[in-house]
Structure 1
Amino acid sequence: RTRAGGVFAVQAECPHRHGPLADGLVGGTTLICPLHSWKFDLETGNALFGDCGVRTYPVRVDEANDIVLTVDPA
């Protein structure tokens, strides 16, 4: 969750150098890779600088306040 309460889900590794995005920093809706500071928009997955983005996944918060993630089994 972001400080504003937003919930987002993206792939685990940065496409640039495979940095662990779970260890990245979040500011607003921007995710920053911990290895080389590549920045990604959490809503779209687009890279803010550079040519490769990250995959995003549909996510929601249910009535029990649990985070529900939908992953395509393909």
Structure 2
Amino acid sequence: MAGVVRLAGADALSRYDLGVLIACRDGIAPSLLPAGRRADTQLRGGLDVRLDSGATQRQLDIRLRGEPLRGLV
């Protein structure tokens, strides 16, 4: 297998929850992150930006697990 592949866990994660994980990793207080519903803003773009990595998982014959993230957010 060569080239760029899409790879992500199976669990959906909000932009806020992803931000919290990144903030915690980088030693930033999650309380500093603004929270709200993107649907209530004028920001453009999709609301659901999950990455489907099913083809990559099938090609690599692996199952990606999201369980370790559940306790972090």
Asked whether the two chains share a fold, i.e. TM above 0.5, the reply is no
Q: TM-score, normalised by structure 1?
A: 0.24
Of Structure 1 and Structure 2, which has the larger fraction of its residues in strand? 1
Query: Which of the two has higher C-alpha Rg?
Result: 2
Of Structure 1 and Structure 2, which has the larger fraction of its residues in helix? 2
